[in-house]
Amino acid sequence: MMRCFIPRHAVRATHAGGTADFVICFQCYSVQVYVDDRQLMGFLVSQLPEPAFNQVLSEARVPLAK
C-alpha cells in the first residue's frame, strides 16, 4: 500500500458550532480526520466511493484533478 497522501477529495460536516473534515486520498486509501481544525485520527478507505464523489463534483462543474 502506498502512503503518498495526496488528497483530492474532502467532506466537511458541521453541527452545533463544530466542524469535522474528512480529507481523502484515494491513491493510498487514507482518510485524515480533523475536528475544529485539530487532527484527531486517520483510517483506511477503499476506492468504492471515489466514482460517487467524482460524479457529484462533475455535476457541480468542479474540475477534477488528473
Average pLDDT over residues 45-51: 94
Q: Which residues pair with 10 in a beta bridge?
A: 23
Convert the pLDDT of each residue in 50-60 to its tens digit. 999 999 999 99
Element containing residue 55 per DSSP (H, E): helix 50-59
Q: Which residue has the cell 503518498?
A: 4
Residue 41 and residue 4: Cα distance in Å, rounded?
17
Residue 56 and residue 12: Cα distance in Å, rounded?
14
Element containing residue 12 per DSSP (H, E): strand 9-15
Full-model pTM = 0.83
What is the pLDDT confidence band of residue 61, given thresholds at 50, 70 and 90? very high
Convert the pLDDT of each residue in 6-38 to its tens digit. 999 999 999 999 999 999 999 999 999 999 999
Whether 58 and 51 have beta carbons less than 8 Å apart is answered as no
